[in-house]
Chain A
């Protein structure tokens, strides 16, 4: 299936890989289908969550554990049932990234990660029931903290 995206021009996506976000993503409730695209660097913790129904919409997302090793995601039974998650291994966790003009202030949302069931392709942005994490964690600060700990 061909998709004319804002960031990547025309791309060919594998329909098997289409993720269903039944409730959309808060602020973008009408976009329900996404694909996860890699970046040019395979080692990169970044991915793109590209909307299929709105080709102009894409979120940069990041593997939060690559930035913050002690990140803890505790998901309610409600979400586990809704996404049909049976094993922890089939669950993918990504944080949505905000890239402001000053790119050093790039941040990730640890309060509301995107959870994807890799088996049945269902996804949702989930609000964690904790005050430990906020919606804006500066990625470079977190990385510096991680490097200094080693």
Chain B
């Protein structure tokens, strides 16, 4: 992992086409601006972890009759 220090208004460039700018720093919160090509997907890490967790729960399914649930009024 590369660690580097940046100040407000400064940025880093990744791979010539992705620019991440530090827009604002307030206490322990940092606001980032990310300029990247349209085909690059960017997501908060928590979202990914949340999806992983949800998938694990989903895989842990018992042998149930799914359709019966919907039939109940």
Contacts and interface: CB of A to CB of B under 8 A. Distances in A.
Interface of A: 6-7, 25-28, 39-41, 44-46, 57-60, 76-79, 81, 96-100, 103-104, 106, 109, 111-112, 125, 127, 129, 135-136, 139-140, 143
A127 B43 contact: yes
B48 A26 contact: yes
Interface of B: 38-41, 43, 47-48, 50-59, 61-64, 66-67, 69-70
Nearest to B39: A78
Nearest to A56: B59
Nearest to A112: B51
Q: Which 4 A-B pairs have the closest CB atoms?
A: A78-B39, A27-B52, A27-B55, A46-B66
Contact of B48 (A58, A127, A136): A127
Contacts of B38: 76-78
Given A41-B67, A97-B66, 7 more contacts: A25-B55, A27-B55, A96-B54, A98-B58, A112-B54, A125-B55, A135-B51
A104 B70 CA distance: 9
A96 B69 contact: no
B67 A28 contact: no
A7 B54 CA distance: 20
A135 B67 CA distance: 21
A135 B43 CA distance: 14
Contacts of A135: 50-51, 54
Contacts of B54: 96, 98, 109, 112, 135-136
